[in-house]
Amino acid sequence: MRLVLIGPPGVGKGTQGRRLAGSQGWALISTGEILRTAIANETPLGREARTIIESGRLVSDGVMIGLVEERIAEPDAQSGFVLDGFPRTIPQAQALDAMLDKSGQRLNAALSLKANEEELVTRLSARRECSVCKRAYNLVNAPPKDGRHCDDHPKVELVQRADDAPETVRRRLDVYREQTEPLREYYRRQGRLREVDGQGSMDEVEKRLAQVITALQVDAGLEPV
């Protein structure tokens, strides 16, 4: 299956995308993670993206579309993928439809995760990640075992993403409302939108998503995993 996850920052796209792709054997393509890796490696893309990301704005459509077009052509994405963080604008969604169309493929669904803004701000301020495996933790709801280090990398102290600073979070929520929220209507018109409540624990949201995926697999005549 080919799926996109849309939703505001902090709603759990990364966590749920990782679980979903892992359980189904699909490629997880997180554009935010690709950009953060490029920043850490100081590549030309990373140098271009750094100040944009830290200010909470979006990297240009042209750069992002090129990056995703290359990534979804890689072998591991042929059996299916979950896109986390792309598309984020209408031109990106149109470009994704066009690039899939060119290779006779199509998107199965856009999964829209929702949560109220207060919960998002609270979650983002408590979010920490492992710089090695990128696993996300929440210091309040889902802390690491010792409170500070990654469970799978006990020497690695968890860090806060630069763009999770409170003033940047506000900007990212504004950008989401203005530029990304309209995608819900775009996919609704195509009959591909599936809304999922993103509130509650990670396990609860995962169960809701799994039900939607099973229904999609049945509709597509596929054997649910």
Query: So which residues are the catalytic ones?
Result: 13, 88, 127, 161, 172
If one asks whether residue 86 binds ligand AMP (CB under 6 A), the answer comes out as yes
Among 46, 50, 59, 125, contact with ligand AMP (rule: CB under 6 A): 59
Instruction: Name residues contacting ligand AMP, limited to 104-163 (CB under 6 A).
Output: 163
Find the shortest distance in angstroms from Cβ 92 to ligand AMP.
Answer: 6
Other C-beta atoms within 10 Å of 160: how many?
14
If one asks whether residue 35 binds ligand AMP (CB under 6 A), the answer comes out as yes
If one asks whether residue 52 binds ligand AMP (CB under 6 A), the answer comes out as yes
If one asks whether residue 9 binds ligand AMP (CB under 6 A), the answer comes out as yes
Nearer to ligand AMP, 42 or 219 (CB): 42
Among 53, 110, 111, 113, contact with ligand AMP (rule: CB under 6 A): 53
**Which pair of tokens denotes residue 185?**
């209507």
For residues 23 and 4, what is the distance between their CA atoms, to the nearest angstrom?
16
Per this entry, what is the length of the chain?
225
Among 8, 12, 85, 144, contact with ligand AMP (rule: CB under 6 A): 85
Find the shortest distance in angstroms from Cβ 88 to ligand AMP.
Answer: 4
For residues 155 and 221, what is the distance between their CA atoms, to the nearest angstrom?
46
If one asks whether residue 58 binds ligand AMP (CB under 6 A), the answer comes out as yes
Contact string 154-173 vs ligand AMP (x = CB under 6 A): ---------x--------x-
The stretch near ligand AMP (CB under 6 A) out of 27-35, 101-109, 112-120, 192-200 is: 27-35
Which residues of this protein are in contact with ligand AMP, per CB under 6 A? Answer: 9, 31-32, 35, 52-53, 56-59, 64, 85-86, 88, 92, 163, 172
